[in-house]
Amino acid sequence: MADAYRGPDLGLVAHGLRFISDEIELCQALPAFDHGTRILDAIQGLRSDFNEKTDALTVKVDTLTTKVDGLENRMGSLENKVTRLDNRVENLEKKVEGLENKVERLDNRVGSLEGKVERIETGQANLSAEFGQLRQQVDGLGRKMLISQKNVTIRLTNSTATRDESVLYPLRNMETGQEMRPFPQTIGHLNHWPGRSIDHLLSELDEATDGDLAEKRTRILLAVGVTTRNLVENRRIGQ
């Protein structure tokens, strides 16, 4: 019973452990163990190389990621610029369209103004023509007034004629301003004029040509300025 409960021999245990440890150390000299160690070293080297390459690749990936992010940012910036440019182009197109509309309206206004100018020019041409005609009429009227004034003076001179031998001064034609020809030199000369010459002179004096010769002669004498008193005396003598 005493042997059944005997405690462990720790010294023996320690000796056994030292023995086992020494034997295990001797395992390092075994070829298989050395090969496994080299394999582990190779694996460790591969792992280190893989880690280095992985780290380098990670750096490259990070660099590429940074570049891609930069490109994305630049693309975003470019997209914003393109959007702004597109908006500006759209605004410019609207402005161009507005300018085209303004140009069209201005063209219509110019066309209207051209029409007005043309009408004004036509009116001016018509006014110029009318003014020319009016000027001719005024000039003609002035010339007739001058001729009429001369005829008034001639009639005053002829009003002094009292006898057959009294000289009669010829009046001037109202159209040409020239002396009326033929024209009786005296009252007596008129009394011997033929009817055709008398009618011609009456027409030139713008007098009526009806009536007998005595009436026509009296009409001529009155037209050239001979007074009524002298006409009565002349009619008595002519009869």
Count other C-beta atoms under 10 Å from residue 181's C-beta.
9
Cut 0.85: pTM above it: no
Q: Report how far Cα 214 is from the mean position of its chain's Cα atoms.
A: 79
**What are the residue boundaries of the structural domains of the chain, listed by start?**
159-238
Query: What is the pLDDT, as a whole number, of residue 198?
Result: 93
Could you tell me if residue 172 is left (phi over 0), alpha (psi between -120 and 50 degrees) or otherwise beta? beta
Among the residues of 159-180, which ranges form H helices? Answer: none
Q: For the segment 156-214, what is each residue's pLDDT rounded down to a tens digit? A: 999 988 888 989 999 999 889 999 999 999 989 988 999 899 999 999 999 999 999 98
| pLDDT on residue 20 | 85
* CA distances for 209 relative to 39, 66, 68, 92, 165, angstroms: 163, 127, 123, 90, 25
pLDDT digits (tens, 9 = 90+) for 19-34: 888 877 777 666 666 6
Encode pLDDT of 103-137 as tens digits. 888 888 888 888 888 888 888 888 888 888 888 88
